[in-house]
Amino acid sequence: MSDKEETAIFAGGCFWCMVQPFDQMPGIISVVSGYTGGHVPNPTYEQVASGTTGHTEAVKITFDPSIISYKKLVEIYWHQTDPTDAMGQFQDRGDSYRPVIYVNSPEQRKIAEESKKELENSGEFDEPIVTKIEDAQPFYPAEDYHQDFYKKNPLRYAIEESGGRKKFINDHWKK
């Protein structure tokens, strides 16, 4: 990575649904779907889906901080998730879909915690904000067929998006 590249890792349900909102922003170099936060090295999709690895489905974003800030990425993240649901996101249920902001520096932790506090104080949600902020763990890219899923499989992606995420985003974030 050059001096103009940093990374951010976010888990917010199915990684297929977390790529497109970041992928289309200026300053984003790459968005990779993968697995993190567990105890099994180089897990497969089937292993993660079995719920036995401890991993979450996540996206690793490489970005140019001179064009887009980490704070802006955290804002985009909140606007893709239900931060009050610790047991998954929308139709995706279970530990591998839990919402987590994985931080890789004290600066990222400070920004993420401040942003979470702002969200808690905003009055947008009646329930507590349960999204975790955890230290980044090794990140394992998912199999090739999971990468850029929204581009490769637009119909299947649209079906996934119809599982409640789009309505939730419109209800809570499009004000």
Active site residues: 14
Note whether 10 and 35 are within 8 A (CB).
no
Which token pair is 107? 């600066």
Closest CA to 7 of 102, 114, 97: 102
Alpha carbon distances (Å) from 35 to 18, 50, 166: 13, 13, 23
H or E element in which residue 141 lies: strand 139-141
85 close to 60: Cβ distance less than 8 angstroms:
no
Question: Do the beta carbons of residue 9 and residue 136 sit within 8 Å?
Answer: yes
CB distance 9 to 36 below 8 Å: yes
Closest by CA to 89, choosing from 13, 8, 155, is 13
